[in-house]
Structure 1
Amino acid sequence: MAEINIERKKKPMWPWLILLLVIIALIAWALYEMTDEPAETEYEEVPATGMVSPHPDPLMTTTNNNV
């Protein structure tokens, strides 16, 4: 009787490489987001009324002590 060699097909490697690259990209993005300092400071906007509010303390005082 004749002997028949049966070889299994090798599974492609590229789906595993793509999965590995996606996982590495997600880890890199997470590390970047955790270590990144915020570039902008958000300020609360105050509506303009057209009025000027006086400062409680004078900004500059002048004294004249000529004796």
Structure 2
Amino acid sequence: MAEINIERKKKPMWPWLLLLLVIIALIAWALYEMTNEPDETEYEEVPATGMVSPHTAPLMTTTTYNV
């Protein structure tokens, strides 16, 4: 009688590698966000002088032509 060798199919490894890469990416992003200091620039307000500076030229000019 002939002997039949039965081998189990090997499961693919790439889904586990993809999941591992996603987890590593999430951990790296979380560490970056926790250690990254925000670029907060403090601006000093200019004190109001109460003076108004006039404009020398008009802000908008309109012309109408009658034809």
Q: TM-score range by the shorter chain?
A: 0.5 to 0.7
Do the aligned partners of residues 42 and 22 (structure 1) sit closer, same or farther apart at CA in structure 2, a change above 3 Å counting? farther
Give the TM-score normalised by the residue count of structure 2: 0.59
Q: Which runs of 5+ in 1 are unaligned?
A: 44-50, 54-67
Give the counterpart letter for 1:5 in structure 2.
Answer: N
Alignment length, in residue pairs?
47
In 2: Cα distance, 1:42 partner to 1:14 partner: 49
**How many angstroms does 1:2 deviate by?**
1.4
Percent identity, aligned pairs only, is 87
Please tell me whether residue 3 in structure 1 is matched to residue 14 in structure 2: no
Q: CA offsets, 1:1-47, max 9 Å, x none? A: 2110000111111001100100000000000000000113477xxxx
Q: Which runs of 5+ in 2 are unaligned?
A: 51-67
In 1: Cα distance, 2:3 partner to 2:42 partner: 78
Give the TM-score normalised by the residue count of structure 1: 0.59
Correspondence for 2:13: 13
Counting only pairs closer than 5 Å after superposition, residues 1-67 of structure 1 correspond to structure 2 as 1-41=1-41, 52=49
